[in-house]
Amino acid sequence: MRIFLEAKGFEVESYSTVQEASIAIAGGLADMIIMGLAFSDAEGEDFLTRTVESFDGPVIILTSTADRAKIRRLISLGAKAVINKSSTWKNELNQYL
């Protein structure tokens, strides 16, 4: 993801934990958040909910575990899009960049 986005001219930050990411998001420097759903220190849907409550920009989910019902649920929680990692994710993500 980092290589793909940097090649398109974006500055990319990545974090190992939800706690680190939350601090960065609260700092207000992000224009977009692209996140997965697997974290060692939080549930993905909980982090999504907290993120959309405090962040005004788009939140894109990139996951390999999204069936139609889960996609609908994540969108209802505030995700702008849910992209399956096993698909042509680069093409799908391009429309949101």
- Per-residue confidence in pLDDT tens, the chain, 97 aa: 999 999 999 999 999 889 999 999 998 888 999 999 988 888 889 999 999 999 999 999 999 888 899 999 999 999 999 999 887 899 999 999 9
Sorted by where each begins, the domain ranges of the chain are 2-94
Burial 5-44 (b: 16+ CB within 10 A, else e): beeeeeeeeeeeebeebbeebeeeebeebbbebebeebeb
Q: State the pLDDT at residue 58.
A: 96
pTM over 0.95: no
Quick one: fold of 2-94? Rossmann fold (3.40.50)
Residue range 37-61, pLDDT digits in tens: 988 888 889 999 999 999 999 999 9
